[in-house]
């Protein structure tokens, strides 16, 4: 049996709709793949017609190839990942490669061949290739059925100028746009379930995400900070977070709790958080803030209270989960891989100095009057100056890294 070089075809959908800008999106995805696949035996990555082609090192085994393809599938911008081989433009060689690829595709009952000739200098047309290679597979798998619509496995065969690519195992990616193609945002990131999912959703839309974690320290332990780092490590695997600012917030919550009516505490906390996040966003040259809020989920997330917190800043505030219920958010957290981390109990600023009956329909003039007695500008400067910064592997991040 011939030894074929293993390849992985990276398909995208949304990038293909970008017209004259498509090349820049393709290059951004290629650069992200190059950086994030550095631990794997990747030789090079090429752009081909409508896809990216990952070449694996000679001698790479099937289990390693699967690990690489699974890693690629979680990277934003990837719609589908196909494992296969590069081989000569000879029908018997392509049939042999198809046999090997199909054998590695897993359990199946039905299949079909989908051949495509990208260069007319190859004499055999697509229909004839389908029949010739399909016949070889039917001979090798007499108990399997050919099905043209919705087969279990599709064996792809593509003939290009100097080679052929044959693949069978094909899995969906997470789609979206490559990180770095849609600017930069600052995400309010807690150790809970919601905000990591909101961050991930913005990364899938191509944004470089910078997190800000408001720790209850020194009024609480720093346990939430370790959980946020664990969450960031999950996001880091696919380049979905660049940096996290951790700010000790507990003392400022205590000052607010002593100075304002109890029912307004939560709104005051949120307004100060937003102002701190906006200042960090200006430092990072980010264009928006992101939160994990879902409409009506807790007292601070009513329409009136959202309006009062948004009024604290000038930057737009994105809420990708605003119309999502808790079960849907949990399902997304499980898909992301952050749910188990977020399910651990850890004291943080969200439960610190909470009133018994928080306001659910705050009025902005009342909020502004209560806030007028607080040294907000000085607090914002102090909090930002005290921020502790940790950087993560995000190939698209363009910013001054801190030690």
What pLDDT does 352 receive?
Answer: 58
- Whether CATH 3.40.50.620 fits 184-391: yes
Q: What's the pLDDT at 403? A: 43
| pLDDT above 90 as % of the chain | 78
- Tens of pLDDT, residue by residue over 70-84, are 999 999 999 999 999
Q: What is the 3-state secondary structure (H, E, C) of 214-241?
A: EECCCCCCCHHHHHHHHHHHHHHCCCCC
Q: Does 402 score more than 70 pLDDT?
A: no
Q: Quick one: DSSP state of residue 101?
A: H
Average the pLDDT over each of 196-200, 345-349, 385-389, 392-396 and give the range with the smallest value: 345-349
**Which run of H or E residues covers position 391?**
strand 388-391
Confidence (pLDDT) at 16? 65
pLDDT of residue 359: 78
> Do 5-172 and 184-391 come out as alike in CATH topology?
no
Separation of alpha carbons 296 and 61, rounded Å? 51
55 is in an annotated binding site: no
In the prediction, which pLDDT does 347 show?
Answer: 64
pLDDT, tens digit, 9 for 90 and up, residues 54-75:
999 999 999 999 999 999 999 9
Q: Which residues pair with 215 in a beta bridge?
A: 248
Task: Give the pLDDT band of residue 287 (cuts 50, 70, 90).
Answer: very high
Residues in CB range of 357: below 8 A, 6 or more apart: 262, 263
For the chain, give every domain's residue range: 5-172, 184-391
Strand partners, 290: 187, 318
The two structure tokens encoding residue 88: 């000569």
**Conformational region of residue 180, where left means phi above 0, alpha means psi within -120 to 50, and beta covers everything else:** left
Q: Is 111 annotated as a binding residue?
A: no
Q: What's the confidence (pLDDT) of residue 349?
A: 53
213 carries a ligand binding annotation: yes
Across 13-27, 29-43, 249-263, 290-304, least confident range: 13-27
Res 351: pLDDT: 64
DSSP string, 127-167: HHHHHHHHHHHHHH-TTSEE-SSS-SEEEEEEE-SS-EEEE
Alpha carbons 170 and 153: distance in angstroms, whole number: 8
Please write the tens of the pLDDT for every residue from 158-177: 998 889 999 999 999 999 99
- Ligand-binding site membership of 295 (annotated): no
**Nearest alpha-carbon partner for 284 in 184, 176, 374:** 184
In tens, the pLDDT along 299-337 reads: 778 899 999 999 999 999 999 999 999 999 999 999 999
Q: What are phi and psi of 373, to 5 degrees?
A: -85, -5
Q: How confident is the model at residue 296 (pLDDT cuts 50, 70, 90)?
A: confident
Is domain 5-172 classified as CATH 3.30.2130.30? yes
Q: What is d(CA 339, CA 317) in angstroms, rounded to the nearest whole number? A: 24
Share of the chain above pLDDT 70, in %: 95
**Exposed/middle/buried for residue 183 (C-beta within 10 Å: 0-12, 13-18, 19+):** middle
Q: Does 214 appear as a known binding residue?
A: yes
Give the mean pLDDT of 276-285.
97
Helices (H) and strands (E) in the chain, counts: 13, 14
Per mean pLDDT, which range of 293-297, 311-315, 337-341 is the poorest? 293-297
pLDDT digits (tens, 9 = 90+) for 82-108: 999 999 999 999 999 999 999 999 899
pLDDT at residue 1 greater than cutoff 60? no
CB 397, CB 389: distance < 8 Å: no
- CB environment 312-350: b (16+ within 10 A), e (fewer): bbebebbbbbbebeeeebbebbeebbbbebbeeebbbbb
Mean pLDDT, rounded, for 32-48: 94
Q: Which residues contact 205 (CB under 8 A, 6 or more apart)?
A: 76, 176, 177, 182
């Amino acid at each position: 049996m011939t030894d074929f070089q293993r390849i992985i075809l990276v398909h995208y959908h949304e990038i293909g709709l970008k017209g004259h800008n498509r090349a820049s999106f393709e290059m951004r995805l290629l650069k992200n793949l190059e950086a994030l696949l550095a631990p794997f035996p990747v030789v090079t990555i090429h752009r081909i017609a409508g896809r990216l082609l990952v070449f694996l090192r000679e001698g790479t085994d099937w289990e390693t190839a699967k690990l690489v393809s699974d890693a690629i599938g979680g990277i934003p911008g990837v719609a589908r990942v196909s494992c296969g081989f590069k081989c000569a433009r000879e029908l018997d060689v392509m049939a042999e490669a198809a046999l090997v690829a199909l054998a590695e595709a897993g359990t199946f009952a039905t299949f079909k061949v989908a051949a495509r000739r990208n260069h007319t200098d190859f004499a055999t047309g697509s229909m004839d290739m389908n029949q010739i290679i399909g016949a070889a597979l039917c001979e090798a798998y007499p108990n399997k059925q050919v099905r043209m619509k919705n087969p279990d496995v599709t064996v792809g065969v593509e003939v290009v100028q100097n080679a052929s690519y044959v693949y069978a195992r094909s899995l969906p990616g997470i789609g979206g746009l490559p990180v770095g193609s849609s600017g930069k945002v600052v995400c309010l990131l807690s150790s809970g379930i919601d905000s990591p999912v909101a961050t991930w959703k913005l990364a899938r839309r191509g944004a470089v995400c910078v997190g800000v974690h408001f720790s209850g320290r020194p009024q609480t332990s720093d346990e939430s900070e370790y959980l946020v780092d664990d969450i960031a490590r999950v996001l880091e695997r696919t380049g979905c977070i660049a940096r996290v600012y951790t700010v000790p917030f507990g003392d400022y919550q205590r000052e607010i709790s002593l100075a304002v009516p109890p029912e307004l505490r939560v709104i005051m906390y949120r307004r100060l958080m937003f102002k701190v996040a906006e200042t960090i966003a200006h430092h990072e040259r980010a264009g928006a803030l992101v939160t994990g809020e879902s409409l009506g989920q807790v007292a601070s997330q009513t329409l009136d209270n959202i309006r009062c917190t948004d009024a604290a800043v000038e930057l737009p505030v994105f809420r990708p989960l605003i119309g999502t219920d808790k079960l849907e958010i949990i399902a997304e957290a499980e898909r992301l891989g952050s749910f188990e981390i977020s399910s651990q109990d850890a004291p943080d600023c969200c439960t610190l100095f909470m009133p018994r009956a928080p306001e659910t329909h705050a009025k902005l003039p009342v909020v502004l009057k209560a806030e007028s007695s607080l040294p907000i500008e000085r607090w914002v400067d102090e909090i930002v100056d005290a921020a502790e910064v940790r950087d993560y592997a995000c190939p698209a991040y363009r910013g001054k890294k801190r030690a």
